[in-house]
Structure 1
Amino acid sequence: MTGITTTRLFTALLATAAAPAAAETWDMPTPYGDSVFHTQNITQFAEDVAEATDGELEITVHSAGSLFGHPEIKDAVRRGLAPIGETLMSRLENEDPLFGIDSVPFLAASYEEAQALWDASRPAIEERLAEQGLTLLYAVPWPGQSLYTQEPVESVSDLEGTAFRAYNAATERLATLMGAVPTQIETGDIATAFATGRADAMITSPSTGVSSQAWDFVSTYTELEAWLPKNMVIVNTSAFDALPEEVQTAVMEAAEAAETRGWEMSEAETAAQVAALEENGMQVVQPSETLAAELAEIGDTMTAEWTEQAGEDGQAVIEAYRSE
């Protein structure tokens, strides 16, 4: 080998050693639009990962179901069609009741209680996801679900016989236990349903109340925070394990920051949207002692029903939560 060839080879080897690692790009489907605080939090998470890894991992956020529809996201991540994604945790309840623990009415009816419930249930949720080749990164709640009615409600008996909007099995069961008549109504149809008499009352978040302009068809918002359903961000475990160790660490640190930030954003969203309801003429009230006690009893009934479905693991989570 000539001296010139040796020099060229040595130079090439130096250049290869000095070159940065090839950047990894992950596509991330999310169900919600860019104006939703969950999506804004995810965008910041992606930026944090890129910065912490010096661009070694880039996450491209595909919002509003533009890459995969909401029902498809979890399975797409499991199958590796997308390495990372966001989904509403309770959408997976049909696979395992544990995924629906945050949507049991009145089990955790405040941000403080929701955090305690998450602390108690997270290990079991992580275990269930791991069985499917998925790793949990973080979870963030929506604002709590509260009561919208035309007149103030002092007791559950005031709801007897009313047409009550339901959107899943839990809200249908809740309406039945309150003596109301459940009627399935999707979010986009709320205003029309109230205008045509198909609905007289509903439980939903202040965000949905504002987006549907609830002040046009009801006058009273009773703050219940009956449950705070969570979105979770999950990653394909094989894709995550394939990352260099320092990149994995950066992702987990960014996820921890996103969870803390997201809970704060959710509380801020609640305050802002409740204020918007009030500014538009709705009466914002706290539940009476009678109503609170009656709803707590209904919550106990629904918790017992959920625990029976969830079995020993569900019972263990409830016991851990209540021992906090």
Structure 2
Amino acid sequence: MRWLAAGFLVSGLLLGAGAALAQTTWDMPTEYPETAIPGEGVATFARLVNERSGGRLTIRPSYDAKRGIKSAQMIAAVQKGEVAAGDAFAGALGAVDPLFGLSSLPFLATSIADARRLTDLARPVYEKKLAGFGQKILYTTPWPASGIWSKAPLDSAADLTGLSIRTYDATSTAVMDAAGAKAANLSFADAMPKVKDGSVTAVLSSGDGGAGRNLWDFLPHFTEVNYAMPISLATVNLAAYEALPADLRQVVDAAAKDTEARQWAAIRTRLDENYARMRANKVSIRADVPADVAQTLAKAGRGAIESWRRSTGADGATLLDQYDRK
């Protein structure tokens, strides 16, 4: 079945003198804009493969969920061969398996160094889980720390009460609900119409995610709560990968490695770049989070982490314990 699935992903076949030369095209979507850091990762990986494969393997990227595939649906789409590869926000993949929600746990990894260490610890577990869905990791992409975009400033914990906020996974939804907000777990594609019509008045996202969607047109305040530094995962259908000749697999592996290095290097300047764009678009950025807002979110976050630990069993507990041993 794996080899059969790979067959559906091969776009064409040219016969040469005495040998078959496959020309293969892989579609690779993401729900994020090309200007967001996951979009840049997809574009980088596609460019590297396309340049290095001599035209034998072409990666065809798409952005803004134009294929109709959101992050939570990406594993299934890649597994079924609807697309050969894809980029997905790991928090949304928690709907497939809660272990994928690790990087989105509140106030666990809020620096680049901690996010990298947590990702490296979890990678073997992610690989094992993804193998069960017939795919492998190409590369990871870190997001800048998540904050709260809002229509009105968050001056105190009372402003969280009843706040209609878009969240990005089950854990962040539980945290915001516990903090008194009215949270809804929505992809960006589903959230933006509600932001525009005013039914959603706040968004949990990084400056990167918000800038990519021009959130400043509707939500001109950003509170730097440093909720989490989550990751996105780029994966490929294992059958499609294994169907490639050995030299093309080496091209894919090298391009994936170089893309991952580029993504983790880019994050180091991304925050300043995002803040510059936000200020240029009149966003009020609040770094001095009101003490009662921070305390309310931290208390809600501790409960969410314990709930995640219980839901993931031994694997989740082991990862948290390893991470705590700094």
Query: Given the two structures, how large is their TM-score scaled by the length of structure 2?
Result: 0.80
- Structure 2 gaps of 5+ residues are 1-15
After superposition, residues 214-225 of structure 1 pair within 5 angstroms as 214=216, 218-219=220-221, 221-225=222-226
**Matching residue of 2:311:** 309
Offset of 1:200 from its aligned partner? 5.6
What does residue range 69-88 of structure 1 map to in structure 2 within 5 Å?
Answer: 69-70=69-70, 72-88=73-89
Give the deviation of 1:163 after TM superposition: 1.9
Counterpart of 1:187 in structure 2: which amino acid?
Answer: M
Note if 1:63 corresponds to 2:30. Answer: no
Question: Residue in 1 aligned with 2:96?
Answer: 95
Residues in 2 aligned to 1:217 and 1:72: alpha-carbon distance in whole angstroms: 28
1:124-147 CA-to-partner distances (Å, cap 9, x unmatched) read 111000112111111112332113
- Report matched runs for 1:260-299 at 5 Å: 260-288=261-289, 290=291, 291-292=293-294, 294-299=296-301
- Between the aligned partners of 2:209 and 2:102, the Cα distance in structure 1 is 21
* Structure possessing the higher radius of gyration over alpha carbons: 1
Q: Could you tell me the percent identity over the aligned residues?
A: 26
Q: 1:59 to 1:276 in 2, by over 3 A?
A: closer
Confirm whether residue 251 of structure 1 aligns to residue 256 of structure 2: no
**Distance in 2 of aligned mates of 1:115 and 1:206:** 19
Q: Hey, what does 2:181 align to over in structure 1? A: 180
Tell me the secondary structure at the aligned position of residue 85 of structure 1.
strand
How many Å separate the matches in 2 of 1:200 and 1:94? 24
- The one-letter code of the counterpart of 1:192 is D
In the superposition, relative to structure 1, how do residues 235 and 199 fare at CA in structure 2: closer, same or farther (>3 Å)? Answer: closer
| CA–CA distance in structure 2, aligned partners of residues 68 and 202 of structure 1 | 22
TM-score between the two structures when normalised by the length of structure 1: 0.80
For each residue in 1:156-181, what CA deviation from the matched residue of structure 2 results, as whole angstroms up to 9, or x when unmatched? x3435342413353333222322334
Paired with 2:192 and 2:25, the residues of 1 have a C-alpha distance of: 34
* Structure 1 residues 215 and 95: alpha-carbon distance in aligned structure 2, compared to 1, 3 A threshold: closer
Moved more, 300-309 or 178-187: 178-187
Residue of structure 2 in register with 1:190 after alignment = 195
Judged with a 3 Å threshold, the aligned counterparts in structure 2 of structure 1 residues 215 and 162 are, in CA distance, closer, same or farther, namely farther
Task: Call closer, same or farther: CA 1:308–1:162 in 2, change over 3 Å.
Answer: same
Unaligned segments of structure 1, at least 5 residues: 1-14
Structure 1 CA distance for aligned equivalents of residues 287 and 54 of structure 2: 49
| Equivalent position of 2:321 in the other structure | 319
Worse-matched range after superposition: 263-272 or 225-234 = 263-272
SS at match of 2:91: helix
The code of the aligned residue for 1:63 comes to Y
